[in-house]
Amino acid sequence: MAACSERQSKYPYKWQLIGEPFDSLMDRLEWQFNDFAPFDSIEKTIFQLENSVKEISKERETVAQSRVLYWQARYLQRRQIIDSALFTLKKALSLNDSIKFRYDRLRMFSLWYTSNDSTDGAAQYRHFEEAMDYASSVGDIPYQGHTAINMGNLLNAIGENKKALHYLSLADSLYSIAGFTKIVVKNGINVARVLSDAGERERGDSILKTLLNNPILEDDTIAINTVSRNLWASTHEKPYLLTAYNQIKDSPNYRHLRGFYRGLLALQNYWEENYDSTLYYSDLALADLPFVTDYNHKAIIWFNIGLANMIKNQPDSALICRIRYENYIDSVQIGRHATEVLRLSALHEMGIKEAEYTASIYRRNMILVIVGIVLVATSIITWLLINRRNMRHRIEAMKNELELEKAKRKIAATTLSIEEKDNMLTAIRSELSEMRQEGEIKEGSARKLESTIKSHLLESENEETFREMFDVVNPKFTERLRERCPELADSYIKLACYMLMELDNKRIASLMMIKPESVRQARWRLSQRLKLPENETLESFLRSLNNDF
């Protein structure tokens, strides 16, 4: 099995591979049925498939035999030999291992439900839903398209026309992807029937007329025959009926349809009062009656034979035909009752599925609402916590700004106090100098006072306060300055602090008790000691050094 699984199928069907040449013949049959190959060609391939079973290993022989029976049943269904098709399909299902070969079982039951009109509608609906989901999960696009057509036809039968059109449109898309153009074209017959059943007969007839001239269906007898028959049923125009009849009248494979068409031609000629033609086609229809299997078709034939007997003035024979017609009509009504049961059961199943879907949507929406509420509540709590944290940060920042502002004011006041005190002491020193020169005070006492004043000017207690406040406003500025130039003297540190405060040379000279020219020289020396490049000023360097913090 492992060796066979490496082989790639020509078409994306998901039959488990069981060995050559069996798998290749399976591929060929898929293509022949989807391309509507002639019956003799399909029959030949099925015969080859049956013979190839002997080359399959013993453990896979049973599944191979069940597949052969499946294709034989499908061939019989295509030939409209329904009873034999169902009997053969039952044998195929009896050989199927539904657990190991689930795909086989689904394919076989799809054929069963499309062949057997008496099956439960709910069961059909459930099967087609399961088949759609499984085909989608395994990536079998053609089988998914085939199931979509079956679902569309089922929904149309129970009156769900819009949903039917949706599935038929889905089938077109899937088969287009798979490359089966002919099926897409033929699916127009199903679409036209749904439109007619929905009351849009003109649209349906327009599609059928287009299909009648489509070159893709030129060699497809069944398709053209169905199109012509449906157009006649809609318009009652005789050329369509003749086209359908002429296609199959000489083929022994369609004798079951030939009798039906001859009965319709008898009726058409009766409407046109061509009584000779009515009698002619009635006799031909009677000859084909044993091959007709559809009760509705048999009823139509007996009805028209009765008309022919009335034309021949044979009322007794006409009465017998009438009785037989009514018997078959009763059988048709029983079938219609079964169809109605199918419709109701399928509608019930759809109702259950839709209720389950609605409930699932409600549960999903409730979950989404709960999740939304939780997310909103979480977002609000998170926002409050973040806002609270930001508020604390803002309060701390405001406190820091307030402390900084206080420090700035204090340093300004300290600077002003130092400057005023120094000015006052300088003035006293000048007066003492004048008094000493004029002899108003002893020379020794004057020098002693001048020395004391000078000492206070050089080492003021306010300088310590100034430096503390300066470090608060400009943290680590002096520390970084000393890191840049460890041997820097305190006088240059003080000069740098005054420059950072943006004091002019005159005021700096006053505070440092030197001349303005000396301030300029000191600035130049500080630049040299800091080894500043020529394109950088001392002021910009000090600001950048301070902004690093």
| DSSP 8-class letter at 485 | -
Q: How far is CA 382 from CA 348, 378, 386, 387, 391, in A?
A: 50, 6, 6, 8, 14
pLDDT reading at 45 higher than 90: yes
Tokens of 422: 């120094």
Q: Are 228 and 209 in contact (CB under 8 A)?
A: no
Task: Tell me which H or E stretch contains 101.
Answer: none
Q: How confident is the model at residue 87 (pLDDT cuts 50, 70, 90)?
A: very high
* Selection from 185-189, 388-392, 461-465, 516-520 with the highest mean pLDDT: 185-189
For residue 90, the model assigns a pLDDT of: 93
CA triple 341-347-351, angle to 5 deg: 145
CB atoms within 10 A of CB 32: 19
Burial class (CB in 10 A: 0-12, 13-18, 19+), 174: buried
Three-class SS of residue 268? helix
**295 or 66, higher pLDDT:** 66
280-339: pLDDT as tens digits? 888 888 888 888 877 778 888 888 888 888 888 888 887 888 888 787 776 655 444 444
Using one digit for the tens of pLDDT, what is the confidence trace for 143-168? 999 999 998 988 888 788 899 999 99
- pLDDT tens per residue across span 235-245: 888 888 888 88
Average pLDDT taken over every residue of the chain: 80
**Cα 311 versus chain centre, distance:** 67
- Say if residue 169 is exposed, middle or buried (CB neighbours under 10 Å; 0-12, 13-18, 19+): middle
Stated pTM of the model = 0.57
Instruction: Indicate if the pLDDT at residue 60 is higher than 80.
Output: yes
User: What's the pLDDT at 411?
Assistant: 63
The secondary structure element, H or E, covering residue 217 is: none
From CA 78, how far away is CA 45, in angstroms rounded?
15
Distance from the first to the final alpha carbon of the chain: 76
For residue 321, which phi and psi values (nearest 5 degrees)?
-65, -40
Q: Using one digit for the tens of pLDDT, what is the confidence trace for 356-383?
A: 656 667 677 778 778 878 888 888 888 8
Residue with the two structure tokens 């039959």: 15
- Cα–Cα dist 128/149, whole Å: 10
Query: How far is residue 457's CA from residue 463's CA, in Å, rounded to a whole number?
Result: 10
Kindly report, residue by residue over 475-504, the tens digit of the pLDDT. 778 888 888 888 888 888 888 888 888 888
Is there a cis peptide before residue 21, judged by omega within 30 degrees of 0? yes
Structure tokens at 516: 């303005």
Q: How far is it, in rounded angstroms, from Cα 387 to Cα 380?
A: 10
pLDDT at 457 over 80: no
| 196-202: average pLDDT | 90
Long-range pairs for 311-318 at CB < 8 Å and ≥24 separation? 311/275, 311/278, 311/279, 312/279
The one-character DSSP state at 548 is T
CA-wise closest residue to 177 among 212, 135, 217, 220: 135
Beta strands in 417-496 (DSSP E): none
Q: What is the 3-state secondary structure (H, E, C) of 283-313?
A: HHHHHHHHHCCCHHHHHHHHHHHHHHHHHCC
> What does the pLDDT read at residue 309?
83
Give the relative orientation of helices 490-500 and 477-484 as an angle to the nearest 10 degrees.
130
pLDDT band for position 52 (50/70/90)?
Answer: very high
- Listed as own residue / partner, the contacts of 234-240 with beta carbons closer than 8 Å and 24 or more positions apart are 234/196, 234/201, 234/204, 234/205, 234/208, 235/205, 236/268, 236/271, 238/268, 238/272
Q: What integer pLDDT is reported at residue 5 of this predicted model?
A: 35
Coil/strand/helix, residue 68: helix
For residue 507, the model assigns a pLDDT of: 79
Residue 423 banded pLDDT, cuts 50, 70, 90:
low
Q: How far apart are CA 325 and CA 301, in angstroms?
A: 8
CA 220 to chain centre: 38
Please state which of the ranges 74-83, 260-269, 422-431, 504-513 shows the lowest mean pLDDT. Answer: 422-431
- Residue 91 pLDDT grade (very low, low, confident, very high; cuts 50, 70, 90): very high
Q: Which two tokens stand for residue 62?
A: 């049973």
* pLDDT above 70 coverage of the chain, percent: 78
The H or E element containing residue 533 is: none
Asked if 111 and 89 touch (Cβ cutoff 8 Å), the reply is yes
